[in-house]
């Protein structure tokens, strides 16, 4: 069919430009980073091979465990709420309301803003003395809340800003899922006398299971990688109570220049994310069939 | 009648929800139009008593914010263009050319999507330091060029293009490259738009890597610049909000133009920033 079959040559030539960049800036650093993690590697001085010492140090590093715990807290605080919010938004924008177009745009628009803008804005809204939430609370005769400056509240405050920022993303995925459910199912349910709530619980939610699994897995990964919101809103404080793992990796590598240790930590995080994703997929995906 | 009043309640509720959701953005703009002494006081005012653009002048005058916008724009546009130039040919190869190792290569590339970026920051930093390009815009661009999700989208689209169209071109004596440029690329325009929009947004919102790669404040991207605002401008909240407004305007315009494309693109891929 093709004159003088050149498929092999063409395939290689067409793949080559991407593969070169991919090899240089993805595969090579991935391997190099793993290599570094076996060294005591400071930015100055000669790297020293220390085998598994970095990984062993991690196990005894209180900050590592607390950062991991804070990350986990953030995952647990954000994932369920973001899924439910996204789902409710999707119901609103796929309904019969004449406002559904406006709602879709409004719910989605925060996601388009860069995270640092969102975090800066919420840090101002939640500011202790002059932020609008506390100003209103005071007008109502209540005390202002230490949104970002108390260990009890800080992670929740960061979570609230995150809800606002990314709920619209989940809405888009759920909306796409809902639109794929055939209208006839709802019509016959209506004929059988099922009310709107019954339809949601007995038709929409069960049929959205694949979308929900996708959302869940993506959300858990995204929440595990949290960094910017924390960096801008609390800087990890107060007293390190919101320091998350990516931040600790960043600080270790680029404030204290302990590159080997930082690399080892990032591989542990990678492993954790992989294991959790695979487990989620195995458990939820299987039951789905 | 009963149904009608129920509808009215629903509409009012919806308007209320919309208002709450959009309020933070409104508050950002309102704050930016106030004088600092009206902002930092316990005497609460909602609307600016003496609306002013002073904070905007201040932001442009006393920070590099204009330069940061230009940097982000340069980085995002270059990333967008090169992402497409790199992704499209290999996506075509994956979709239409039978060559040995194709499937293995495809899965290797797709596995790249699983790698969280923070695994790469230390090695990339050392790598770029040794190349002598750390602290340049180039260093912010290079690691973002290989976008596996783009390949995924394009490949899916190219697979749907009938092979008969290609064969007709081959019979007319066109080579692979010509066929690709003249037939595949024009037909794949919709998918291409999605990919370059996603690449642009990704690059524009990138934070962790430019924070590490770029240390001179003149070379900051807008995301890094805004993040450091609070450190350098402490309690000048009105000015900080003016900076936030300036930083979001390009994105907002971009969104309003490509609203449908952006939302559909995300629905298609589940790409999470």
Domains detected in chain B: 54-269 (1.10.3720.10)
Question: Residue B75's pLDDT is what?
Answer: 95
**CB-nearest partner of A11 from B102, B109, B170:** B102
Question: Residue A287's pLDDT is what?
Answer: 57
CATH class of A62-288: mainly alpha
Q: What's the pLDDT band for B272 if we cut at 50, 70, 90? A: very low
Average pLDDT over residues B234-261: 90
Question: Residue A1's pLDDT is what?
Answer: 46
What distance lies between CA A66 and its chain's CA centroid? 19
| A168, A108 Cβ separation under 8 angstroms | yes
pLDDT averaged over chain B?
A: 90
Average pLDDT over residues B140-146: 90
First to last CA, chain B: 47
| A82, A163 Cβ separation under 8 angstroms | yes
Say which residue, B233 or A249, is predicted with more confidence: A249
Q: CA torsion, points B104, B105, B106, B109, in degrees to nearest 10?
A: 120
Question: Residue A289's pLDDT is what?
Answer: 45
Question: Residue A83's pLDDT is what?
Answer: 96
Average pLDDT over residues A199-222: 89
Query: In chain A, where are the structural domains located?
Result: 62-288
Closest CA to A112 of B190, B222, B141, B204: B204
Average pLDDT over residues A155-180: 94
Nearest CA in chain B to A12: B99
- pLDDT tens for A52-85 read 999 999 999 999 999 999 999 999 999 999 999 9
Average pLDDT over residues A146-161: 94
**CB-nearest partner of A172 from B226, B230, B266:** B266
Average pLDDT over residues B2-27: 91
Residue with tokens 């038709």: A203
Report how many Cβ contacts below 8 Å link chain A to chain B: 262
- pLDDT tens for A87-137 read 999 999 998 889 999 999 999 999 999 999 999 999 999 999 899 999 999
A253 touches chain B (CB under 8 A): yes
Chain B hits for A22, Cβ within 8 Å = 109, 112, 146
The sign of the dihedral angle between the CA atoms of B229, B230, B232, B237 is positive
User: How many Å apart are CA A155 and CA B203, to the nearest integer?
Assistant: 27
Range B224-227 contact pairs with CB under 8 angstroms and sequence separation of 24 or more? B224/A116, B224/B68, B225/B63, B225/B64, B225/B65, B225/B68, B226/A114, B226/A116, B226/A117, B226/A120, B226/B68, B227/A116, B227/A119, B227/A120, B227/A228, B227/A231, B227/A232
User: How many Å apart are CA A218 and CA A213, to the nearest integer?
Assistant: 9
Question: Residue A46's pLDDT is what?
Answer: 85
Interface confidence (ipTM) of the complex: 0.90
User: How many Å apart are CA A80 and CA A75, to the nearest integer?
Assistant: 9
Closest CA to A87 of A201, A175, A160, A203: A175
Q: How big is the CA angle at A74 (ends A70 and A75), to the nearest 5 degrees?
A: 115
pLDDT averaged over chain A?
A: 91
Tokens describing residue A108: 């989605």
Average pLDDT over residues A26-35: 95
Q: Show which of residues 186-225 on chain B sit within 8 Å of chain A, judged by CB atoms.
A: 201, 204-205, 207-208, 211-212, 222-224
A271 touches chain B (CB under 8 A): no
**CB-nearest partner of A172 from B28, B212, B263:** B263
A270–B248 C-beta distance less than 8 A? no
Predicted confidence (pLDDT) at residue B225 exceeds the cutoff of 50: yes
Chain A hits for B15, Cβ within 8 Å = 99
Predicted confidence (pLDDT) at residue A182 exceeds the cutoff of 90: no
Predicted confidence (pLDDT) at residue B118 exceeds the cutoff of 60: yes
The sign of the dihedral angle between the CA atoms of A122, A126, A130, A136 is positive
B112–A222 C-beta distance less than 8 A? no
Name every residue whose Cβ is closer than 8 Å to that of residue B236 and which is 6 or more positions away in sequence: B36
What distance lies between CA A81 and its chain's CA centroid? 13
Average pLDDT over residues B209-236: 88
CA Rg value for chain A: 24
Predicted confidence (pLDDT) at residue B231 exceeds the cutoff of 80: no
Q: Show which of residues 41-60 on chain A sit within 8 Å of chain B, judged by CB atoms.
A: none
């Amino acid at each position: 069919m093709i004159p003088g079959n050149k498929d092999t040559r063409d395939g290689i030539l067409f793949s080559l430009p991407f593969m070169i960049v991919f090899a240089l800036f993805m595969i090579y650093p991935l391997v190099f980073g793993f290599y570094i993690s076996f060294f005591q590697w400071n930015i100055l001085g000669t790297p020293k091979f220390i085998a598994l010492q970095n990984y062993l140090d991690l196990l005894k590093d209180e900050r590592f465990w607390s950062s991991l715990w804070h990350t986990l807290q953030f995952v647990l605080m954000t994932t369920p709420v973001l899924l439910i919010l996204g789902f409710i938004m999707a119901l609103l924008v796929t309904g019969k309301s004449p406002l559904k177009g406006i709602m879709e745009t409004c719910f989605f628009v925060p996601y388009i803003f860069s995270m640092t803008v969102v975090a800066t804005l919420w840090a101002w809204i939640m500011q202790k003395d002059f932020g609008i939430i506390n100003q209103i609370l005071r007008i109502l005769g209540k005390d202002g809340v230490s949104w970002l400056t108390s260990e009890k509240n800080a992670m929740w405050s960061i979570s609230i800003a995150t809800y606002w920022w990314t709920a619209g993303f989940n809405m888009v995925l759920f909306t796409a899922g809902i639109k794929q459910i055939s209208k006839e199912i709802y019509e016959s349910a209506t004929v059988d006398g099922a009310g709107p709530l019954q339809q949601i619980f007995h038709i929409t939610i069960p049929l959205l299971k694949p979308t929900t699994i996708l959302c869940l897995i993506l959300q858990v990964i995204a929440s595990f990688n949290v960094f910017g919101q924390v960096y801008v809103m609390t800087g990890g404080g107060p007293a390190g109570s919101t320091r998350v793992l990516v931040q600790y990796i960043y600080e270790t590598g680029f404030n204290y220049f302990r590159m080997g240790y930082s690399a080892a930590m990032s591989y542990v995080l990678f492993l954790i994310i992989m294991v959790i994703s695979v487990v989620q997929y195995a458990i939820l995906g299987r039951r789905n069939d | 009648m009963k149904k009608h009043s129920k509808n009215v309640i629903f509409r009012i509720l919806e308007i209320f929800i919309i208002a709450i959701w959009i309020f933070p953005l409104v508050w950002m703009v309102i704050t930016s139009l106030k004088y600092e002494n009206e902002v930092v006081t316990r005497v609460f005012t909602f609307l600016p008593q003496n609306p002013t653009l002073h904070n905007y002048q201040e932001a442009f005058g006393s920070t590099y914010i204009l330069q940061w916008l230009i940097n982000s724009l340069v980085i995002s546009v270059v990333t967008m263009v090169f992402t497409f130039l790199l992704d499209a040919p290999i996506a075509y190869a994956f979709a239409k050319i039978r060559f040995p190792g194709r499937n293995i290569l495809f899965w290797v590339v797709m596995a790249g999507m699983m790698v969280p970026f923070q695994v790469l920051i230390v090695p990339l930093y050392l790598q770029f330091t040794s190349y002598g390009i750390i602290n340049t815009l180039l260093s912010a661009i290079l690691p973002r060029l290989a976008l596996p999700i783009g390949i995924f989208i394009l490949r899916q689209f190219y697979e749907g293009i009938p092979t008969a169209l290609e064969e007709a071109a081959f019979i007319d004596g066109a080579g692979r490259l010509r066929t690709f440029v003249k037939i595949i690329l024009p037909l794949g325009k919709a998918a291409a738009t999605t990919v370059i929009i996603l690449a642009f947004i990704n690059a524009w919102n990138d934070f962790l890597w430019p924070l590490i790669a770029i240390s001179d404040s003149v070379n900051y991207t807008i995301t890094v610049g805004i993040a450091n605002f609070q450190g350098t401008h402490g309690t000048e909240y009105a000015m900080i909000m003016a900076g936030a407004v300036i930083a979001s305007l390009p994105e907002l315009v971009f969104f309003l133009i490509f609203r449908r494309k952006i939302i559909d693109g995300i629905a298609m891929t589940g790409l999470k920033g």
